[in-house]
Structure 1
Amino acid sequence: MTTSPRARIGIVGTGAVFPAYARGLAALPGLPVIRVADLDLERARTAAAEWNVPAWGGTEELLADPDVDVVVNITTPGAHADLTDAALEAGKHVYVEKPLAATTEEARRNLATAERTGRLLGGAPDTFLGSAAQTARAAVDAGLIGRPFAATSFVRSSRAQTWHPDPTFLFKRGGGPVLDWGPYHIAALVNLLGPIRRVVGATGNAELEIPVTAPERRVERIDVEVATHATSILEFTSGVLATAVYSFDIWDTDLPHIEVYGTEGTLQVPNPNHFDSPVRLKRRTAEEWTEVPPVLPPSTPADATGFYRGLGVQDLVGHLDGDAHRASAGFAFHVLDVLERLQDASLADGVAEIASSTERPAPVRGARPVVG
Structure 2
Amino acid sequence: MDKVGIGIVGLGNISAAYLKAAQNFPVLDIRAVADMNPAAAKARADEFGLRAVELDALFTDPSIDIILNLTIPKAHVEVGLRAIAAGKHVYSEKPLGIVFAEGKKLVEAARAKGLRVGSAPDTFLGGAHQTARQVIDSGVLGQAVGGTAYFMCPGHERWHPNPAFYYEAGGGPMLDMGPYYITDLVNLLGPISKVLGVSTRLRDTRTITAKERAGEVIPVHVATHVSGTLVFANGAVVQITMSFDVAGHKHVPLEIYGTEGSLIVPDPNNFGGDVQLLKTGGEWEDVATDQPYWDGNFRSIGLADMAHAVLANRLHRCNGDLALHVLEVMEAFDTSSRTGHAVDITTKAERPEALSTSLVGGKLA
Query: Which TM-score tier does this pair reach, normalised by the shorter chain?
Result: over 0.9
Contact 2:335 2:343 (8 Å CA) reproduced: no
Partner SS, residue 32 of structure 1: strand
Contact 2:205-2:220 within 8 A present in 1 as well:
yes
1:290 corresponds to which residue? Answer: 285
Match of 1:100 in 2: 96
Contact 1:166–1:218 (Cα < 8 Å) also in 2: no
> Cα distance, 1:217 vs. partner?
2.7
5 Å-filtered alignment, 1:1-372, equals 5-53=2-50, 55-157=51-153, 159-217=155-213, 220-287=216-283, 289-301=284-296, 307-320=297-310, 321-343=312-334, 345-346=336-337, 348-366=339-357
Structure 1 residue 356: Cα displacement: 1.1
Alignment partner, residue 304 of structure 1:
none
- Corresponding residue SS for 1:244: strand
Q: Residue 277 and residue 158 in structure 1: after superposition, are their counterparts in 2 closer, same or farther (change >3 A)?
A: farther
Alpha-carbon distance in structure 1 between the residues aligned to 2:308 and 2:53: 28
Moved more, 162-171 or 42-51: 162-171
Q: Measure the CA separation in 2 of the matches of 1:364 and 1:32.
A: 22
2:362 is matched with none
Checking the alignment, whether the CA contact within 8 Å between 1:134 and 1:295 is kept in structure 2 is no
Distance 1:191 1:290, change over 3 A: same
Q: CA deviation at 1:218?
A: 8.4
CA contact (8 A) 1:78 1:102 kept: yes
Partner secondary structure for residue 356 of structure 2? coil
What RMSD over aligned residues (CA atoms) do the two structures have, in Å?
A: 1.7
2:154–2:246 Cα contact (<8 Å) kept: no
**What are the Cα deviations for residues 201-239 of structure 1, in whole angstroms up to 9, with x where unaligned?**
111023221111111238812111110001111110100
Partners of 2:165 and 2:55 in 1: how far apart? Answer: 20
1:344 shift after superposition: 5.0
The verdict on how the C-alpha distance between 1:300 and 1:10 changes in structure 2, with shifts beyond 3 A counting, is farther
> Following the alignment from structure 2 to structure 1, what is the Cα–Cα distance between the partners of residues 111 and 233?
27
Code of the residue aligned with 2:69 in structure 1: it is N
Deviations 1:7-63 (A, max 9, x none): 01111111111111101111111212221111111111000001111x113322211
Higher deviation after alignment, 249-258 or 214-223: 214-223
Moved over 4 A (4+): none
Specify the SS of the correspondent of 2:188.
helix
- Structure 1 position 266, deviation (Å): 1.0
User: Greater shift after overlay, 141-150 or 254-263?
Assistant: 141-150
- Judge conservation of contact 1:153–1:243 (CA < 8 Å) in 2: yes
Deviations 1:295-319 (A, max 9, x none): 4123444xxxxx4411110121122
Give the structure with the larger helix fraction. Answer: 2
TM-score of the aligned structures, taking structure 1 as reference length: 0.92
CA distance in 2, matches of 1:118, 1:346: 37
Q: Are residues 367 and 192 of structure 1, via their aligned partners in 2, closer, same or farther at CA, if it must alter by over 3 Å?
A: farther
The 1:219–1:340 alpha-carbon spacing in structure 2 relative to 1, beyond 3 Å, is farther
TM-score, normalisation: structure 2: 0.94
1:278 to partner: Cα distance = 1.5
* Secondary structure of 2:3's aligned partner: coil
Q: Which amino acid in the other structure matches residue 13 of structure 2?
A: A
- SS state of the match for residue 216, structure 1? helix
CA contact (8 A) 1:81 1:106 kept: yes
Q: Give the conservation status (yes or no) of the 8 Å contact 1:137–1:192.
A: yes
